[in-house]
């Protein structure tokens, strides 16, 4: 039995294609945009002894951007079914603390200036808001299931 002759095989292929393109859109596009921003600004890294090896320019911080996108999007989808206001506030606080710790770690490792982290946060916030907006638009167009 060949994989493309049954429904399960096509489902696996469709899922693999979906996951590939989801990853490409969610990680590939922001990474490409971030690379262009780094090349355009060309800002050097801080003149300290690095605790980790770095090879790219420093503005904006891709770790700050990716972390903000990941935590913000995760919280957005987790908070939706939450009923209690306390749970939502605790989730917002936990998300904010994780994002701030990530940015502080980049500064503590001497690989970014605070402005680099702020630039990464701004780029990640804009990217997240764009995708949340698009998700809400698409969700509103879908017919309600009974």
For the annotated catalytic residues, the residue numbers are 63, 112
For residues 90 and 76, is the Cβ–Cβ distance under 8 A?
no
Cα 119 to Cα 65: distance, rounded to the nearest angstrom: 8
What sign results for the dihedral spanned by CA atoms 103, 108, 109, 114? positive
Cα 75 to Cα 94: distance, rounded to the nearest angstrom: 9
Query: What CA–CA distances, in Å, run from 6 to 16, 17, 20, 78?
Result: 16, 17, 22, 35
Q: Which backbone phi and psi does 61 adopt, to 5 degrees?
A: -75, 115
Q: Which backbone phi and psi does 143 adopt, to 5 degrees?
A: -70, 145
């Amino acid at each position: 039995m060949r994989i493309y002759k049954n429904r399960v095989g096509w489902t696996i292929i469709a899922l693999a294609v979906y996951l590939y393109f989801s990853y490409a859109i969610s990680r590939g596009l922001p990474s490409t945009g971030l690379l262009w921003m780094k090349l355009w600004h060309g800002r050097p890294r801080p003149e300290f002894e690095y605790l980790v090896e770095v090879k790219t320019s420093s503005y904006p911080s891709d770790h700050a951007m990716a972390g903000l996108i990941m935590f913000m999007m995760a919280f957005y989808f987790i908070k939706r079914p939450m009923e209690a206001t306390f749970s939502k506030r605790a989730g917002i606080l936990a998300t904010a603390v994780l994002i701030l710790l990530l940015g502080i770690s980049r500064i503590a490792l001497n690989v970014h200036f605070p402005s680099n982290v702020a630039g990464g946060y701004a780029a990640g916030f804009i990217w997240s808001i764009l995708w949340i907006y698009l998700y809400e638009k698409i969700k509103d167009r879908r017919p309600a299931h009974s």
